[in-house]
Amino acid sequence: MSGAIWNLLSFIVALGVLITVHEFGHFWVARKNGVLVKRFSIGFGKALLRWRDKQGTEFVIAAIPLGGYVRMLDERIDPVLPQFKDLAFNHKTVWQRMAIIAAGPAANFIFAVFALWLMYMLGVQTMRPVVANVAPQSIAAQAGFKPNQQIVAVNQHAATDISSVNLLLVEQIGRDSITLQLRDMLSTEQTTVTLNTSEWQFDPEKQSVFDSLGLQLARPQVQTKIAQVAPDSAAERDGLLSGDIVLRIDDEDISDWSQLQRLVTNAPEQVLQFTIDRDGQTMQLQVTPGRQRADDGFSQGILGVVPAVGEWPEGVLYTRQYGVFAAVGAGLSHTWQLTRLSIAMIGKLLSGDVSVKHLSGPISIAQGAGTTASIGLVAFLSFLALISVNLAVINLLPLPVLDGGHLMYMLVELIRGKPVSEKTQETGFRFGALVLLMLMGIALLNDISRL
């Protein structure tokens, strides 16, 4: 199966699950409050499958899997006979209507907790954020970071693994300083450092948050041994084989893979003299890297090989796995962290600390769905939780056409004692739709530019 098709199918499955959860929240609370639900639709357009339950609700799976809706009996939309008025949405109290609207995002939060609970029950292989090297003159170096220190807290928020540290650091974008609590891996002594981030430059499309601060985390060491040669590549054409150890390129001895990358990248379609060790014998090959265009528009050399990597440093790689009840706490904590990050990033977009060029649309989400689904169930559950939380937070924004916009109008009604006028609501919905379409357009253009 091609990557594009796999991404599309994974995207449809992820979106289908999250939309069903969201709309079921509206549906379930509406029924509990005595509202007649006329239709529960997953997708838009032509119905592919439909059926009715005993209470008269029509369930539909439609052709375009890009959303869904719950259509309730409402006098503002349908003619309602007098004997059925108490079943109409608009005849319920403000509190009942607010509960029905808020139930969609609430269901997404609950689903995120469930997905993460299941993930932690199954077990997550992860890494401790242990620093291996610190780049000279970097933000981390100026703060006094040293190798063999593990990050255990960020601005007083405990950090259990590399994922939680990553989320916490991203949350700090725009701050002038970040306080980190560190534990020495050898002595277990704990210290505190403060990063001066007033000039922090972080581009998530080009580097990790750790690289941007000058931190290189402990990972398996990349060797100068070739683990894999791509078919029809420059390496295969010029005779390099899996298992070859690169000793020298031209007159430069090769002690780490980054040297090889630098020399190859700077020599597109130029002949390089490789000295290699093959099965204990030293031999020389003339290798001409291919040419490819980089993201910045310049050409660079490409060889078509994958390096071998060593063992993980002791104590870095471990599995987070909990029992039934402890996993609930871990799921709640992780969901709260994702929620806090989502809210913070929206604020940073509004303040300008984060550029709109980092917004992601359906193509990026599809790629994320495909990648995590390929890794396995645990990774896919983590992805579903992340998107579910984002969907909930975005839907709660006070923007007409979103659930948060409806809640805003109902809150005004609660304060004023009467509903917001139909004309005002209609104007707000049009404005909200325009803003939403604009943001979706920006996100889609960003996706296309990344292809």
Helix segments in 33-84, DSSP class H: none
Give the helix/strand (H/E) hosting 23: helix 3-32
The whole-angstrom separation of Cα 92 and Cα 106 is 20
Strands 222-229 and 215-217: unpaired
Q: Yes or no: say if 308 and 228 are a contact pair by the CB < 8 Å rule.
A: no
Position 304, amino acid? G
- Cα 405 → chain centroid: 25
Contact, 276 vs 285, CB < 8 A?
A: yes
Nearest in space to 159 (alpha carbons), one of 191, 184, 128, 190: 128
Euclidean distance between CA atoms 314 and 395, whole angstroms:
44
* CB-based contact 102:411 (threshold 8 Å): no
Q: Spot the catalytic one: 23, 58, 171, 205.
A: 23
Q: Is 205 a residue of the active site?
A: no
Contacts of 339 (CB under 8 A, 6+ apart): 109, 389, 392, 393
Sole residue written with tokens 């609950």: 110
Q: Give Cα 443 to chain centroid, integer Å.
A: 14
Distance between CA atoms of residues 263 and 73, nearest Å? 69
Q: What φ, ψ does residue 98 adopt, rounded to 5°?
A: -65, -40
Q: What CA–CA distance (Å, rounded) separates 8 from 207? A: 27
Q: For residue 198, count CB atoms less than 10 angstroms from its CB and return exposed for 0-12, middle for 13-18, buried for 19 or more.
A: exposed
> What's the Cα-to-Cα distance from 26 to each of 39, 111, 153, 364, rounded to whole Å?
12, 14, 38, 28
Distance CA 381, CA 157 (A): 24
Closest CA to 101 of 343, 423, 405, 419: 405
Asked whether the beta carbons of 384 and 18 are under 8 A apart, the reply is yes
Tokens standing for residue 318: 């471990």
Tokens 């290798």 appear where? Answer: 287
CA angle 300, 303, 306 (to 5 degrees): 120
Task: State the catalytic residues.
Answer: 23
